[in-house]
Amino acid sequence: MSSGDNQQLQTLTKPALHEKEAVELTERVFGLKVSEIRALPSYDDQNFHVRVTRKEGTADCADDYVLKIINSEDSQNPELIEVQTRIMMFLNAEGFPSAVPHLTKDGNIMSLESIGTGSLTKKYMVRLLTYLPGTPLAKCPTNPQILYEIGKLAARLDRVLSEKFHHPSVKSLHRGKFIWNLANVPLLDQYIHALGQSEYCEVVSQVIQQFKEKILPNLSNFRACINHGDLNDHNILVDCNPASSPERAQYRVTGILDFSDMSYGYYVFEVAIAIMYMMIESKDPLSVGGHVLAGFESIVPLTPEERGALFLLVSGRFSQSLVVAAHTLQLYPENQEYLMITARVGWKHLVQLFEVGQEVVEKIWFETADAYASAAQA
């Protein structure tokens, strides 16, 4: 997910290249010979899985990449795209499974390309990223082991960026009214009309009001950092060491995707976002938070103030995902399948959180997380 740096969500110009055009673009900009290409799902950019052939001695070898064509709005901010790409390169060098760019023929990490004809011509930023192996976590049954590992991964990622990443353009991650920054839940007031007159509208209104009253006045009590901002189950790739049952499967993270929602935020934002997305496909969603939190706190223990905000932050991220998807669906009805991934069960989970109540949910999460900590000290 991306876009929406301004207070108003823009009517985005999502790229709409045909496969033949994507092949020509890859060969012209990157100087590679494409042997296979297929479209990949995306929110507001356009992605292709590209296989290229190259000579190694006398043999033909194949390499896989993702051709990423950024929407026209975000393409107007090359500084932000560059720092996101530099972060991916930095994390890869630090041992994280993140993609790195293949350089253009001119030796650059990205290229601004004019695509279209006549008055329909628009400029799009284009990158070619290494293709990461693995299966999206959304396609795998989760268990406590992988939930813990994802919490740990989220904390490690935020900490290493905050402590070791330096770049002149890092200031561009202060994204103001970026709709996907968790601090901007109150901006949903402008888009809640997309829900119509439904019970969901009332729930989101409650979230927004409580967020204004309980979260915004306390942001200064949270520890700041750089957030990935979108560690959802489609942006995490895994491989699995099969066991006799899914509950005993041992997963290993092989890829972290989509750095387009990166911004300055807070450690507690990252763990809240991870908890929310890990709840989506879980058969026992209320239990998820404790395992993710335990992994996160094994690296970055939360303060009492941060723990106290977690319930509303998770609810806020549900609201962001659901309201923005409903709004974007009105703009791009042809992208319904991808846009409604979260909505299929997300509303049920958000309503359940409020029906069960903050006190009970926190008890489940914190007792689970504290049990991990006690076991580690034993």
Using the Cα atoms of residue 102, residue 107, residue 112 and residue 118 in order, give the sign of their dihedral.
negative
Q: Max Cα separation, the chain?
A: 70
Instruction: State yes or no: is 230 an active-site residue.
Output: yes
Strand pairing report for 46-56 and 59-69: antiparallel
Residue 144 token pair: 């406590």
190 Cβ contact list (under 8 Å, min separation 6): 7, 8, 9
Annotated catalytic residue within 230, 233, 258, 261: 230
For helices 343-356 and 304-331, give the axis angle rounded to 10 degrees: 140
For helices 144-164 and 78-93, give the axis angle rounded to 10 degrees: 110
How many helices and strands, by DSSP H and E, does the chain display? 10, 10
Query: Do residues 49 and 40 lie in contact, with contact meaning Cβ atoms separated by under 8 Å?
Result: yes
Query: Do residues 280 and 325 lie in contact, with contact meaning Cβ atoms separated by under 8 Å?
Result: no
Q: How many residues does the chain have?
A: 378
Query: Known catalytic residues?
Result: 230
